A and B are shown apart, each in its own frame.
Chain A
Amino acid sequence: MAASPEQSPGDVVLRVEGLRKHFTTPGGFRRQPVVVRAVDDVSFDLARGETLGVVGESGCGKSTVARTLMRLDEPTAGRALLDGADVFAMGPRELRRARRRMQIVFQDPYASLNPRMTVEEIIAEPWDIHPEVLERRERPERVRALLESVGLRRDHAERYPHQFSGGQLQRIGVARAMALEPEVLICDEPVSALDVSVQAQVVNLLEEIQARLGIAYIFIAHDLAVVRHLSHRIAVMYLGRIVEIGPEAEISEAPRHPYTKALLSAEPRLDLDAESDAAPRQRILLGGEVPSPADPPSGCRFRTRCWKATELCAREAPPLTADPESRSRPPRLVACHFPESDAGS
């Protein structure tokens, strides 16, 4: 894994500011419409060539962030600046051009590839939409080169999706996303549906592609181990908000937000190096479950499950602020009134 690329302001390829996505459930007989705040004021920068991991439990809004960035869902508010141009404000023609630079790989490879198309047609389809990228006569060769670059064979081009395993299909999904040579690749749970031995194939492939082409990834997953392995920086989401964002090492080693700490401690870990069984990891068991995003708690959204919550947390939502002990630039940000610290708390 390469060291985190040095960040200077010019290196930011995608800047997300104040992203909100509210869904309104239809009202009906004696039922008021309900506003679900799936994503509520999310901001982050993505540097060129870096991987930003986004973690959080179901319903935290991580997939909604992905879908709104691609404008598969229309955002309610906010800006997404792709090299300075706001993706959310673009008309159809501009958007088409922007999508050439920003692609997405979905979780379910079985559902995201058309079973009636050959692999060649699937991978070449982006060029139908963006014919300027590649001359038609060059397509067959490029398709086969892409297949080889994702570890498949050239003759796989003539086959149909049902002839492949899940891991192979996911590589075809990656090949399709790479066809337009994007600068940003959004991976929405790309390995969650795969067996562990096959997961590693796709994880390695993503690493290789990044090393070769310098693509930035937004890597969304609930599997913390995979996210930690791949990411330079990590954003932890809870109920539609980022509660902590910063370098992978800082967050993994010393989480500041109580939720991050609980999440990391809840993850079952293979601890094979420890020869003595003496020091079991301290596990923080969170009580209760994630509240509904239709009716989030006042103030800090995590307070209902937080062991540190006070009256202040119920009153005021803590803003994302720089962690004074952060060694990185830009510094780690935490949204908590009472963050953990190196000194212990």
Chain B
Amino acid sequence: MSEAATLLEVRDLRVEFRSGLETVHAVNGATFDVRAGETAAILGESGCGKSVTAAAIMRLLPQPPARITAGEIRFDGESVLTMSRPRWRQIAGRRIGMVFQDALSSLNPVFSVGWQIAEAFRVHGEASRAERRRRAIELLDRVGISGAATRVDHFPHQFSGGMRQRVMIAMAVALGPSLLIADEPTTALDVTIQAQIMDLLASLRAEYGMAMVLISHDLGVVSEVADRVAVMYAGRVVESGPTREVLRRPSHPYTLALLRSVPGGKSKAQKLHPIVGSPPDLARMPVGCAFHPRCEMAREICTRVAPPCTVVEGASGATRTVECHFAAEVASGRVA
């Protein structure tokens, strides 16, 4: 896994939103990599900047109000942010696919799903009309929609939530992309349907050798599917590394606190440990470490100096990064 080439590089990404007198710092220097073929998760709670980061990668940020003030996004070595529009149109869809949380508002209600899937082939000038239709049916069948030959002419409202999500996945993988960005793809779905969709994504990934960026708030989902995880808080990646290592031996107090706040441990007698307070107001970020007002381990230095990104050697030799002054102590369990 570690030999695989880096497919997507995000370096020190900063995104602001201007509204009236306020400037909201949605992303404050996010850095992470995605390697070919792997599943990388961006894990965080609402407002941590995970979806804004995804939108920035897809060049979908509405500018204004959004503004990318710094940073670099490279896909397969090419800079996404400075790329010409025609060049980007060649890459988007063909090499990068995207799946959103809300399938209903991502699909066009006035066109049949078959038309929308075939659009990818049409835009990229592929195949004849009949051939496009045949391939749309094939894709619908592949994503598990029964009776694909008739369903292809149906409209989005005729599908259930889980089925619409399948349609969106069919659109996203139509051209066999090497990277799929999935922004909370199962959040709106029931658990049994969520399991179906995650299963489908896994089999498609294996089939196409596709890498995936999974954006999620769900620790369970992330722990089950992601090879590596980047934990975001207040617009920064506070900790990243192989999923199992990060979740088993977190080095950042936020990751640790997140894990302690969810039920699911063996002993139900254990009380949950909520994180005190609420996430920071992104227009008025705390000085120093953004997590310090809620951190049980915060000391004086945390209120003054933002912790640098430290690279630590993981158990398996894989690199982990962490942004905490006391990462070593957190990891060794000496604090808390």
Residue positions of A touching B, CB distance < 8 A:
1, 57-58, 165, 167-168, 195-201, 203-204, 207, 222, 224-226, 228-229, 248, 262-263, 265-273, 277, 283, 285-286, 289-290
* Residues of chain B at interface, number, CB under 8 A: 42
Verify if B261 is at the interface (C-beta below 8 Å from A).
yes
> What chain A residues lie within 8 Å of B195 (beta carbons)?
265-266, 268, 283, 285-286
A195 to B216, CA, bound (A): 12
- Beyond A58-B190, A289-B160, is A228–B268 a contact (Cβ under 8 Å)? yes
Q: How many contacts A-B (CB < 8 Å)?
A: 114
> What chain A residues lie within 8 Å of B271 (beta carbons)?
204, 207
Residue in B263, B268, B278 whose Cβ sees the most chain A Cβ within 10 Å: B263
The answer to whether A197 and B257 touch across the interface, beta carbons within 8 angstroms, is yes
B272 partner, pick from A203, A265, A286, beta carbons under 8 A: A203
Residue in A200, A265, A277 whose Cβ sees the most chain B Cβ within 10 Å: A200
> What chain B residues lie within 8 Å of A222 (beta carbons)?
190-191
B11 vs chain A, min Cβ distance (A): 27
Verify if B269 is at the interface (C-beta below 8 Å from A).
yes
The answer to whether B259 and A272 touch across the interface, beta carbons within 8 angstroms, is yes
B34 vs chain A, min Cβ distance (A): 21
A222 to B46, CA, bound (A): 19
B249 vs chain A, min Cβ distance (A): 9
- Report B169-216 residues with CB < 8 Å from chain A CB: 190-196, 198-199
The answer to whether A272 and B274 touch across the interface, beta carbons within 8 angstroms, is no
A222 to B218, CA, bound (A): 14
Verify if B220 is at the interface (C-beta below 8 Å from A).
yes
A1 to B268, CA, bound (A): 7
A225 partner, pick from B45, B46, B198, B263, beta carbons under 8 A: B263
- Beyond A204-B272, A283-B195, is A270–B257 a contact (Cβ under 8 Å)? no
A198 to B257, CA, bound (A): 11
Rank and list the top 3 A-B pairs by shortest CB-CB distance, nearest first.
A268-B220, A229-B263, A200-B274
A196 partner, pick from B193, B217, B223, B269, beta carbons under 8 A: B217
A283 to B198, CA, bound (A): 12
The answer to whether A268 and B221 touch across the interface, beta carbons within 8 angstroms, is yes
A275 to B176, CA, bound (A): 36
The answer to whether B274 and A204 touch across the interface, beta carbons within 8 angstroms, is yes
A277 to B244, CA, bound (A): 10
Verify if B55 is at the interface (C-beta below 8 Å from A).
no
The answer to whether B223 and A266 touch across the interface, beta carbons within 8 angstroms, is no
The answer to whether B190 and A57 touch across the interface, beta carbons within 8 angstroms, is yes
Q: For A55, give the chain B residue with the smallest CB separation.
A: B191
The answer to whether A272 and B278 touch across the interface, beta carbons within 8 angstroms, is no
The answer to whether A267 and B263 touch across the interface, beta carbons within 8 angstroms, is no
The answer to whether B192 and A197 touch across the interface, beta carbons within 8 angstroms, is no
Verify if B114 is at the interface (C-beta below 8 Å from A).
no
B223 partner, pick from A165, A167, A270, A290, beta carbons under 8 A: A270
Verify if B318 is at the interface (C-beta below 8 Å from A).
no
- What are 18 residue pairs bridging A and B, where the CB atoms are less than 8 Å apart in the complex? A195-B45, A196-B217, A196-B219, A196-B262, A197-B261, A197-B275, A200-B262, A200-B275, A204-B274, A268-B194, A268-B220, A270-B247, A270-B262, A271-B223, A272-B248, A273-B266, A289-B163, A289-B193
A270 to B264, CA, bound (A): 7
The answer to whether A198 and B262 touch across the interface, beta carbons within 8 angstroms, is no
> What chain A residues lie within 8 Å of B257 (beta carbons)?
197
A248 to B274, CA, bound (A): 23
Verify if B224 is at the interface (C-beta below 8 Å from A).
yes
- Beyond A196-B217, A267-B220, is A272–B247 a contact (Cβ under 8 Å)? yes
The answer to whether A268 and B218 touch across the interface, beta carbons within 8 angstroms, is yes
- Beyond A201-B274, A285-B196, is A268–B262 a contact (Cβ under 8 Å)? no
The answer to whether A203 and B263 touch across the interface, beta carbons within 8 angstroms, is yes
A228 partner, pick from B219, B223, B263, beta carbons under 8 A: B263
The answer to whether A226 and B263 touch across the interface, beta carbons within 8 angstroms, is yes
Verify if B104 is at the interface (C-beta below 8 Å from A).
no
Verify if B24 is at the interface (C-beta below 8 Å from A).
no
A248 vs chain B, min Cβ distance (A): 8
Residue in A165, A204, A229, A285 whose Cβ sees the most chain B Cβ within 10 Å: A229
Verify if B92 is at the interface (C-beta below 8 Å from A).
no
The answer to whether B192 and A225 touch across the interface, beta carbons within 8 angstroms, is no
Verify if B162 is at the interface (C-beta below 8 Å from A).
yes
Q: For A204, give the chain B residue with the smallest CB separation.
A: B272
Verify if B258 is at the interface (C-beta below 8 Å from A).
yes
Query: Given A268-B218, A268-B221, 19 other A-B contacts at CB below 8 A?
Result: A195-B279, A196-B258, A197-B258, A197-B274, A198-B274, A199-B274, A200-B272, A204-B271, A225-B220, A225-B264, A228-B268, A229-B264, A262-B192, A268-B223, A270-B220, A270-B259, A289-B160, A289-B193, A290-B190
The answer to whether A195 and B262 touch across the interface, beta carbons within 8 angstroms, is no
Verify if B273 is at the interface (C-beta below 8 Å from A).
yes
The answer to whether A286 and B45 touch across the interface, beta carbons within 8 angstroms, is no
> What chain A residues lie within 8 Å of B274 (beta carbons)?
197-201, 203-204
The answer to whether A263 and B192 touch across the interface, beta carbons within 8 angstroms, is yes
B145-168: contact bitstring with A at CB < 8 Å (1 yes, 0 no)? 000000000000000101100000
A265 to B199, CA, bound (A): 13
The answer to whether A263 and B191 touch across the interface, beta carbons within 8 angstroms, is yes
The answer to whether A270 and B162 touch across the interface, beta carbons within 8 angstroms, is no
The answer to whether B266 and A289 touch across the interface, beta carbons within 8 angstroms, is no
The answer to whether B190 and A167 touch across the interface, beta carbons within 8 angstroms, is no
A225 to B163, CA, bound (A): 26
A285 to B203, CA, bound (A): 14
Q: For A203, give the chain B residue with the smallest CB separation.
A: B272
> What chain B residues lie within 8 Å of A267 (beta carbons)?
191, 220
> What chain B residues lie within 8 Å of A226 (beta carbons)?
263
Q: For A265, give the chain B residue with the smallest CB separation.
A: B195
> What chain B residues lie within 8 Å of A263 (beta carbons)?
191-192
